[in-house]
Amino acid sequence: NFAERSEEQVSGAKVIAQALKTQDVEYIFGIVGIPVTEIAIAAQQLGIKYIGMRNEQAACYAASAIGYLTSRPGVCLVVSGPGLIHALGGMANANMNCWPLLVIGGSSERNQETMGAFQEFPQVEACRLYTKFSARPSSIEAIPFVIEKAVRSSIYGRPGACYVDIPADFVNLQVNVNSIKYMERCMSPPISMAETSAVCTAASVIRNAKQPLLIIGKGAAYAHAEESIKKLVEQYKLPFLPTPMGKGVVPDNHPYCVGAARSRALQFADVIVLFGDRLNWILHFGLPPRYQPDVKFIQVDICAEELGNNVKPTVTLLGNIHAVTKQLLEELDKTPWQYPPESKWWKTLREKMKSNEAASKELASKKSLPMNYYTVFYHIQEQLPRDCFVVSEGANTMDIGRTVLQNYLPRHRLDAGTFGTMGVGLGFAIAAAVVAKDRSPGQWIICVEGDSAFGFSGMEVETICRYNLPIILLVVNNNGIYQGFDTDTWKEMLKFQDATAVVPPMCLLPNSHYEQVMTAFGGKGYFVQTPEELQKSLRQSLADTTKPSLINVMIEPQATRKAQDFHWLTRSNM
């Protein structure tokens, strides 16, 4: 019996797949090729879902979104050299967003190292800059150990990207089954709580605030802190502002959401509680003139190194956001208190919200053609299912879209994020669709893309059609990056000269029929130029659950945002 057992062999590919399965990896996105094909096949045989993509970059974006949506890392599987290099964009983006991700890259054979092997590249070294952990197992026996460590590193502390390198010769190498020991599934991160004294101080600073503001970031979304934060907002009647991906932790249509008065709220708040958001460019570094010079920040974050960046906080609450918010609730509950709903602060915020909303409504009601951004987004919002995922990228498309398109559920918005990455949309939409299909069937993924943003990974439409994913792509098409030209101007421009000499760098081909990318693969495509056509095509897309759609929405090529109070707000992404 012992002799029989000891002869049973297993391949490196199968060991990798089993190690991933043991760590509860549910999804792998990638592109197969030498030397990783066998890994994908072995994983699928163990019941891990494999989604084949068309470019490693999009695959990596997709895998990173899995981490954000499920709290366990998705895997991106890539081939050596160029394949891995294409994935670096996704790793950087995940790491910047503080999202868990595990990239597994094939690499050249160990016995050909430094010889100029096929696709040889210093991969472990290259990934170090983009990850929390980057390593190559020294033997097949070490694979389960390294994979457990990578998965754990990706979700413990501040979440981020990890890389595991698999030399080509490992994949088909056979080892004795009994020599492999699989590590136990790594547990979810331990919950850390803030110091009691800091919680007391924070509660008293909040109670004494004249113009308080809670800012809800994507860290709060990731921490599943929706229940405690909503309670804090409602119990004490505090105004809150979501960051782009913090939208939906408390619904956007909540009466205490001051999103429509964002600049005003930031500028005049005297106490700001940060729930999982960094004082980076998205929050204007926490500095004047966007904030009061003496504003008191209370910073809640799981990452100690983050505390005090750019501004010295009045109170730091180091810990898990959900746990810390519950601590705060408990402390505030000790003395009956509530922020007065009739305060001047609320009045100021409400007035500003009203006037901002009226200004965008006016733009939205414009009947002129081609349509402007506001008209397009108001019509989309009208039909947006409450439980849908909104994926969005582009310059104006994302910025204006964010102010009009509402999120009602946490972790249901995915966009260019901390790194301002263009090209994430289709990968994110695919990941959200795959998760939705498994966990909340019936939910739509509405992916609102600028025409330029769509171009970065347009061929992923084939992936969407291959797996028949519940995605509606809306390409908001202004014929360019930021702005473009109409067909007549274009023709005029090209009359006497070569396009490369005269076409402004931001221009894309006018009147491109992006919807045909979708019809090419069997999905439904619509080319729309009027509000009526937009309404109708969106209604039809939502009614047909058997096919993905792409609606190509032509807008005024020179359309812009509404006038802003601050000149620096006219810059893209601000």
Placement of tokens 């100690």 in the chain = 304
468 binds, among ligand ADP, Mg ion, none (CB under 5 to 8 A by kind): none
Given the complex with ligand ADP, which of 379 and 413 has the nearer CB atom?
Answer: 413
Instruction: State the minimum distance, in angstroms, from the CB of residue 545 to ligand ADP.
Output: 32
Closest CA relative to residue 514, chosen from 446, 459, 469: 459
Please, is 570 exposed, middle or buried when counting C-beta atoms within 10 Å of its C-beta (0-12, 13-18, 19+)? exposed
Residue 313 binds to Mg ion (criterion: CB under 5 A): no
Site string for ligand ADP, 406-425 (x = CB under 6 A): ------------x-------
Binding to ligand ADP (CB under 6 A) within 290-319 occurs at 301-303, 306
Q: What is the largest CA-CA distance in the chain?
A: 85
Residue 345 binds to ligand ADP (criterion: CB under 6 A): no
d(CA 81, CA 91) in angstroms, rounded, equals 15
**Are the C-beta atoms of 449 and 390 separated by less than 8 Å?**
no
Please, is 362 exposed, middle or buried when counting C-beta atoms within 10 Å of its C-beta (0-12, 13-18, 19+)? exposed
Site string for Mg ion, 453-482 (x = CB under 5 A): -------------------------x----
Residue 219 binds to ligand ADP (criterion: CB under 6 A): yes
Of the residues 64, 154, 327, 452, which one makes contact with Mg ion according to CB under 5 A: 452
Given the complex with ligand ADP, which of 78 and 155 has the nearer CB atom?
Answer: 155
Residue 277 binds to ligand ADP (criterion: CB under 6 A): yes
Given the complex with ligand ADP, which of 55 and 154 has the nearer CB atom?
Answer: 154
Binding to ligand ADP (CB under 6 A) within 175-204 occurs at none
Instruction: State the minimum distance, in angstroms, from the CB of residue 417 to ligand ADP.
Output: 7
Helix (H) or strand (E) holding 479: none
Given the complex with Mg ion, which of 239 and 370 has the nearer CB atom?
Answer: 370
Of the residues 277, 451, 460, 556, which one makes contact with Mg ion according to CB under 5 A: 451
Write out 189-225 in H/E/C secondary structure: CCCCCCCHHHHHHHHHHHHCCCCEEEEECHHHHHCCC
Calculate the alpha carbon distances from 296 to 312, 333, 558 in Å: 9, 22, 41
**Are the C-beta atoms of 151 and 186 separated by less than 8 Å?**
yes
**375-394 burial code (b ≥16 CB/10 A, e <16):** bbbbbbeeebeeebbbbbbb
Helices marked H in 414-514:
425-439, 451-456, 460-466, 487-493, 499-502
Residue 40 binds to ligand ADP (criterion: CB under 6 A): no
Contacts with ligand ADP: how many residues (CB under 6 A)?
A: 23
Given the complex with ligand ADP, which of 277 and 515 has the nearer CB atom?
Answer: 277
Residue 450 binds to Mg ion (criterion: CB under 5 A): yes
Residue 451 binds to ligand ADP (criterion: CB under 6 A): no
Q: Which residues make up the interface to ligand ADP (CB under 6 A)?
A: 97-98, 158, 217-219, 222-223, 243, 245-246, 276-278, 280, 282, 301-303, 306, 320-321, 418
